[in-house]
Structure 1
């Protein structure tokens, strides 16, 4: 995955793909074009034919360099906002079209984050992971602090964008 990350960074530095801006650091924003987790990858770019072709080239190079195969049957392209030519872009990558809201790696994406019902399954899983002896030694405030710190570190993607934008989920 380090190879894929480096190829994507070079592709972004060359201006072939663009991610989205996050916050400000020293008066400049950070641009995120990809997120990697184990063998799953999220690629973020504008909804343009040129950027999708660049992503296809990156994935092809990755397969050639590493001998690993991207399973396009399990991959999908998800529009954020209105994307008029989504099917033709999906055809370039030979993947299916998904939609928001969705669950990705157990996390809700595209939901209204204040809706309590979407967080209930996550809270239940976290409580199950805390074995019974650990629960006994954590106060209610301690459990709340643990939950808050865990949620604050989870990467989530919410919001809408004024221009056409795509998120690709690749396995």
Structure 2
């Protein structure tokens, strides 16, 4: 049986989790523990902030590198700690792994990782991206069918990825619809047209 490198790395982490050498994280009480998540070219590891667990993580990375003849790029590797971890412990763990600490990841795969109370502020980038795209084309040079294609194919596609994962605030959707109407009817910041 031939396994991919990701499968081999996953097996090493699973073995350590099975042997309770890595705790992982629980989403809620009674749920199974998650020790790692893999995406296309990224890996997210979850461990308790102890020297023993991070020594084991460092050992797994080293073992994986020797077995696969691939090198993990530690300059692109980051660690995020919970607020309960003291500064001394953080520094010890960073020294063990040879990585850098970040307060939090703002975005992953183009999506926000943390959404606070103000959802409108988080998703405001959608409105900006749509308006830039609509402003980028010369609306005076487009016919009505050209504008329709621009709205339906280009502008409406921008929020679809984010909307497939998050519920966008209704007020922001109304503002996006207003942008489409302004583009369709030819209104701009100086001239308002009725529709």
User: TM above 0.5, one fold?
Assistant: yes
Structure 2 equivalent of residue 151 of structure 1? 166
Match for 1:33 among 35, 57, 70?
A: 35
Distance 1:39 1:123, change over 3 A: farther
Any unmatched runs of 5+ in structure 1? 153-171
Mark the structure with the bigger radius of gyration. 2
> 1:66-94, CA deviations, whole angstroms, 9 ceiling, x for partnerless residues?
11111111111111223111011011000
Match for 1:44 among 43, 46, 66?
A: 46
Report the Cα distance in structure 2 between the residues aligned to 1:146 and 1:102, rounded to whole angstroms: 17
Structure 2 equivalent of residue 136 of structure 1? 152
Structure 2 equivalent of residue 90 of structure 1? 94
> 1:6-27, CA deviations, whole angstroms, 9 ceiling, x for partnerless residues?
1111111110101111358xxx
TM-score normalised over the length of structure 2? 0.60
Distance 1:37 1:147, change over 3 A: closer
Counting strand residues as a fraction of each chain, which structure ranks higher?
A: 1
- Aligned pairs, how many? 142
Tell whether the 8 Å contact from 2:54 to 2:97 is kept in structure 1 after alignment.
yes
Secondary structure at the counterpart of residue 42 of structure 1: strand
Counting helix residues as a fraction of each chain, which structure ranks higher?
A: 2
Report the Cα distance in structure 2 between the residues aligned to 1:36 and 1:63, rounded to whole angstroms: 17
Aligned residue runs from structure 1 range 102-113, under 5 A: 102-112=106-116
Match for 2:59 among 41, 47, 57?
A: 57
The Cα RMSD (Å) is 3.1
Tell whether the 8 Å contact from 2:21 to 2:53 is kept in structure 1 after alignment.
yes
